[in-house]
């Protein structure tokens, strides 16, 4: 795809309304490149790995490495989470989770494992946890990079793997994230800190809108094609990666 720098493309809103943009580059700290500046509070000792999808990635050891990005994002009734994920162990791994120690309506878990060795999203309807769409156990191998996306609106919840829609389920009746519970990257907090991630993350993004199938597929194809996205609001710049 040829896109002139500084010009809007058909997908010019990829960065518009992003409420969290985490490139995972440079340090073991987590910096948010969106306008909300929801930087992560570091727990444990996540390390930087030079073999990321774009530049570097962050390595989570499965023993207590995670980030708390708080609850500074605005409330929303539409959601997209994108992440490049490489799982290192057959265990329960939370990727991006909004949970606390009580059953709180609007919590969610974007994870690997929990039930089967697959990516999935679960949500809390206030009375308990409900299983959402999942990728299927035949789709995922350990120590392999995958581009995983989950979307939510008032009708459907969807999960994508490497740009392909894998499953759809009915959306919960209540809004996700309509509470003051913190968001964690790399762990879940429920009764105690648990389901810590054993693997690698790169290019994590959170949106308070539902990206379309075409947008998700295009982001995947341009990332694996060594093109990059600059956080320029509604204008998207592509630049050739030198990594």
Mean per-residue pLDDT for 210-233? 74
Q: Per CATH, which fold does 18-232 belong to?
A: Jelly Rolls (2.60.120)
pLDDT at 193 over 70: no
What is the pLDDT at residue 173?
65
Q: What is the pLDDT of residue 9?
A: 39
pLDDT for residue 1: 29
Q: Is the pLDDT of residue 144 over 70?
A: yes
Measured CA to CA in angstroms, residue 93 lies from 14, 110, 119 at distances of 27, 9, 9
Q: What pLDDT sits at residue 149?
A: 97
Report whether pLDDT(90) > 50: yes
CB 33 within 8 A of CB 203: no
Task: Give the model's confidence band at 21: pLDDT under 50 very low, under 70 low, under 90 confident, else very high.
Answer: very high
pLDDT confidence of 132, banded at 50, 70, 90?
A: confident
pTM of this structure = 0.82
Name residue, tokens 């409330």. 75
Picking from 55-64, 152-161, 182-191, 227-236, which range would have the lowest pLDDT averaged per residue?
A: 227-236
Of the given ranges (45-54, 166-175, 204-213), which has the lowest mean pLDDT? 166-175
pLDDT, position 19 = 86
Residue % of the chain over a pLDDT of 90: 38
pLDDT over threshold 60, residue 202: yes
Phi-psi region for residue 195, left (φ > 0), alpha (ψ -120 to 50) or beta? left
Q: Extract long-range pairs of 159-163: CB within 8 Å, 24+ residues apart.
A: 159/119, 159/120, 159/121, 159/132, 159/133, 159/134, 159/135, 160/213, 160/216, 161/119, 161/135, 162/220, 163/216, 163/217, 163/219, 163/220, 163/221
pLDDT at residue 241 greater than cutoff 50: no
pLDDT for 236 equals 29
Whether residue 2 is predicted with pLDDT greater than 50 in this model: the reply is: no
């Amino acid at each position: 795809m040829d896109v002139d720098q500084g010009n809007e493309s058909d997908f010019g809103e990829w960065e518009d309304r992003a409420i969290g943009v985490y490139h995972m580059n440079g340090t073991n700290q987590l910096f948010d490149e969106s306008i909300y500046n929801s930087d992560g509070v570091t727990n444990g000792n996540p390390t930087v790995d030079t073999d990321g999808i774009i530049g570097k990635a962050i390595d989570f050891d499965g023993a207590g490495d995670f980030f708390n990005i708080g609850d500074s994002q605005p409330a929303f009734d539409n959601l997209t989470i994108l992440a490049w994920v490489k799982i290192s162990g057959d265990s329960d791994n939370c990727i991006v989770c909004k949970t606390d120690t009580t059953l709180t309506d609007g919590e969610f878990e974007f994870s690997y494992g929990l039930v089967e060795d697959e990516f999935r999203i679960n949500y809390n309807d206030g009375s308990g946890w409900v299983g959402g769409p999942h990728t299927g156990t035949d789709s995922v191998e350990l120590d392999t990079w995958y581009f995983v996306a989950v979307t939510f609106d008032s009708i459907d919840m969807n999960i994508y793997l490497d740009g392909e829609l894998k499953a759809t389920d009915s959306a919960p009746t209540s809004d996700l994230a309509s509470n003051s519970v913190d968001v964690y990257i790399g762990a879940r907090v429920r009764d105690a800190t648990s389901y810590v991630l054993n693997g690698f993350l790169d290019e994590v993004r959170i949106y308070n809108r539902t990206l379309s199938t075409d947008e998700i597929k295009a982001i995947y194809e341009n990332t694996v094609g060594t093109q990059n996205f600059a956080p320029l609001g509604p204008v998207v710049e592509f630049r050739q990666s030198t990594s």
